[in-house]
Amino acid sequence: MKMIGEGSPKEETMPDLIEVVAWTCATNTCFEKKVTGSLGDTYMVRFARLYGRELERQGVQYGWTCTCKGFEFRGTCRHINATRKSRCGWNGVLEPTAQCEHDDEGRPCCPDCHGPVEPIKVGV
């Protein structure tokens, strides 16, 4: 048997930031819905990671976009407003008391919409 020496400096190598994994509903990173406009035309409303011009315009990592002209022009539109409510958006970081659930096959799923969840790393 090997003795472990006292006062070993092992603990000093521990990182200051501990990362824990939290679950969020997959609709927080990607959500799409096709909507039909008043003239029967269809648009794609998305909540997803923003890039380029939209990232600059909205100033957030994740946000709403729509393929219609109104959105292009104003940065928002009624399609987005109408779709906003149907997105689950459950976030285990903001609601630590609500644990993610598991489906029949033991995969984690969202407690609100029972859809897929994604792990995110949070520094504590």
Question: Is the CB of 22 or the CB of 110 nearer to Zn ion?
Answer: 110
Q: Which of 24, 31, 50, 68 binds Zn ion (CB under 5 A)?
A: 68
User: Does 110 help bind Zn ion (rule: CB under 5 A)?
Assistant: yes
Query: Checking phi first, is residue 96 left (phi over 0); if not, alpha (psi -120 to 50) or beta?
Result: alpha
Spatial distance between the Cα atoms of 84 and 37, rounded to a whole number of angstroms:
16
Q: Which of 22, 47, 79, 83 binds Zn ion (CB under 5 A)?
A: 79
User: Does 23 help bind Zn ion (rule: CB under 5 A)?
Assistant: no
Spatial distance between the Cα atoms of 98 and 109, rounded to a whole number of angstroms:
12
User: Does 113 help bind Zn ion (rule: CB under 5 A)?
Assistant: yes
Residue 16 CB, nearest approach to Zn ion (Å): 33
Determine the longest span between alpha carbons in the chain, in angstroms: 80
